[in-house]
Amino acid sequence: MVEFILASGNAHKAEEFAELFSGRIAVKPAPRGLNPDETGTTFIENALIKAKAYYDEFGVPSLADDSGLSVEALPDILGVLSARFLPEKPNYQDKCAELLHLLAGQENRRANFTCVLCCYLSPEEVYFFEGRVHGVIGTEYRGDKGFGYDPVFVPTRAENDGKTLAELPEWKNKNSHRAKAAQAALAFFIPR
């Protein structure tokens, strides 16, 4: 079995990836969190920065993800900077409120969540996997089952019922940007 340490200080994320990989790829929390400077301008660059830092520090294969929300009408404020949007307001409910304010009256509300996984086995063996979920930014904050921007993101689904990711935990577990990137990694490392 392929085994990685997660390039994150967030133990919850390790549990999430363990679930996404269905026990077929092992993901363990790192012995301690590091804070490498995410100076990349793309999700790929930032995922690589994190994965390499953890590999260099602990000497074992590492898994890093970089993800964020991109909004077509606001191309310069989110994306790879999603977590750093409004740093003076660390509460995501405040960040979501500001996003809704910035989009007030805007017809184009198209958006997507992107996740890039970097699987860093060694300096000679580095793999990237990407997943996306498309949708729109809703007009209000709804739901309590998600985190980050989930309560304002309405994914494109056949049901077209206007529910946000924060109202769709089961759907999100199977169809989120992280789930899609994890599925791509599984297909590569453990082909059927």
- Of the candidates 37, 56, 65, 66, the residue annotated as catalytic is 66
Q: Give the separation between CA 180 and CA 131, rounded to whole angstroms.
A: 5
**Among this protein's residues, is 66 annotated catalytic?**
yes
Q: Give the separation between CA 130 and CA 177, rounded to whole angstroms.
A: 8
Yes or no: say if 99 and 141 are a contact pair by the CB < 8 Å rule: no
Both tokens of residue 174? 């199977």
Yes or no: say if 147 and 90 are a contact pair by the CB < 8 Å rule: no
Q: Residue 103 class from Cβ within 10 Å (0-12 exposed, 13-18 middle, 19+ buried)?
A: buried
Yes or no: say if 129 and 181 are a contact pair by the CB < 8 Å rule: yes
Q: Residue 122 class from Cβ within 10 Å (0-12 exposed, 13-18 middle, 19+ buried)?
A: exposed
Q: Which of 71, 65, 36 is nearest to 149 (CA)?
A: 71
Catalytic residues: 66
